Amino acid sequence: MTESSLKHLAIIMDGNGRWAKERGLSRTKGHEQGAETIRHITTYCAEDDEIESVTFYAFSTENWKRPKLEVEFLMKLLDKYLKNELATYQKHGIKFQAIGNINEFSTTLQKRIKETEVQTKDNKSLTQVLALNYGGRAEITMAVNNLISQGKTSVTENEISLALQTPYKDIDLLIRTSGEERISNFLLWQLSYAELYFTPTSWPDFTAKELEDIIRQFKTRNRRFGDIK
């Protein structure tokens, strides 16, 4: 059996609020600790010779339903994270990219996102993708509408794939933390043949060691892609 190759990793970061509640802390403390975890996991992936891209589900199109103060905090945390992480991106050769509709964010945050993309565009060791105001159905709908606007009257799977926002199309492994076992409108097209792994660990407690263990298990899986081999 050939060892499974891991080039594109996707992570649904779940459990920040519950992690904080269990410790008698505010939900914002959970989000702050979760941001630290993103840094550690991204750095680990940048040092891995095989992983080319890691995509984090950072803010979904449904997350606007959360309390206004929490949403405002998340926007400020994202701005602070990108500002602080620029040095880490450059040190480890990490290219940053955002997917999703960032036009609904403040002008200041949009500027921070776009500037970070420009400043890191030539980095080669890893692409870190943050899905921001992102929904899988919305991404597919936008891709098809873009193709229609180009005059297409019918489209192929390959054309849709190329019209999507993600720089690396197919996901090899999806991890979701905190015990939930669903994909929550995340990368619906790209997950078609992904291996799925659900861990009870809350995102703030997720470590590079656990990721390493999950990857080791992933590599033992026989990915047939519809074949019988």
Q: Is the pLDDT confidence value at 3 over 70?
A: no
Q: Are 125 and 46 a contacting pair, CB within 8 Å?
A: yes
Q: Give me the pLDDT at residue 221, please.
A: 86
**Catalytic, out of 14, 48, 133, 172:** 14
Q: Does residue 15 belong to any structural domain of this protein?
A: yes
Q: Is the pLDDT confidence value at 229 over 70?
A: no
Structural domains in the chain (count): 1
Mean pLDDT of the region 172-176:
97
Which residue reads 């410790």 in tokens? 23
Q: Give me the pLDDT at residue 1, please.
A: 45
Q: Does residue 225 belong to any structural domain of this protein?
A: no
Least confident window among 35-44, 134-143, 158-167, 184-193 = 158-167
Domain range enclosing 17: 8-218
Catalytic: 63? yes
Q: Are 10 and 176 a contacting pair, CB within 8 Å?
A: no
The amino acid occupying position 118 is V
Q: Give me the pLDDT at residue 81, please.
A: 97
d(CA 110, CA 132): 11
Q: Does residue 3 belong to any structural domain of this protein?
A: no
Q: Give me the pLDDT at residue 210, please.
A: 98
Q: Does residue 132 belong to any structural domain of this protein?
A: yes
Q: Does residue 169 belong to any structural domain of this protein?
A: yes
Q: What residues contact residue 74 under an 8 Å CB cut-off, 6+ apart?
A: 31, 59, 63, 66
Q: Does residue 2 belong to any structural domain of this protein?
A: no
CATH number of the domain enclosing 58: 3.40.1180.10
**Catalytic, out of 48, 63, 123, 133:** 63
- From the CB of residue 149, how many other CB atoms can be counted at a distance below 10 Å? 8
Structure-block tokens of residue 157? 């799977």
Q: Give me the pLDDT at residue 224, please.
A: 66
Mean pLDDT of the region 172-197:
96
- Indicate the pLDDT class of residue 166, thresholds 50, 70 and 90: confident
The amino acid occupying position 154 is S
Q: Does residue 127 belong to any structural domain of this protein?
A: yes
Catalytic: 145? no
What are the tens digits of pLDDT across the range 44-76? 999 999 999 999 999 999 999 999 999 999 999
Coil, strand or helix: which one is 60?
A: strand
Q: Is the pLDDT confidence value at 167 over 70?
A: no
Mean pLDDT of the region 201-225:
92
Q: Give me the pLDDT at residue 185, please.
A: 96
How many residues are present in the chain? 229
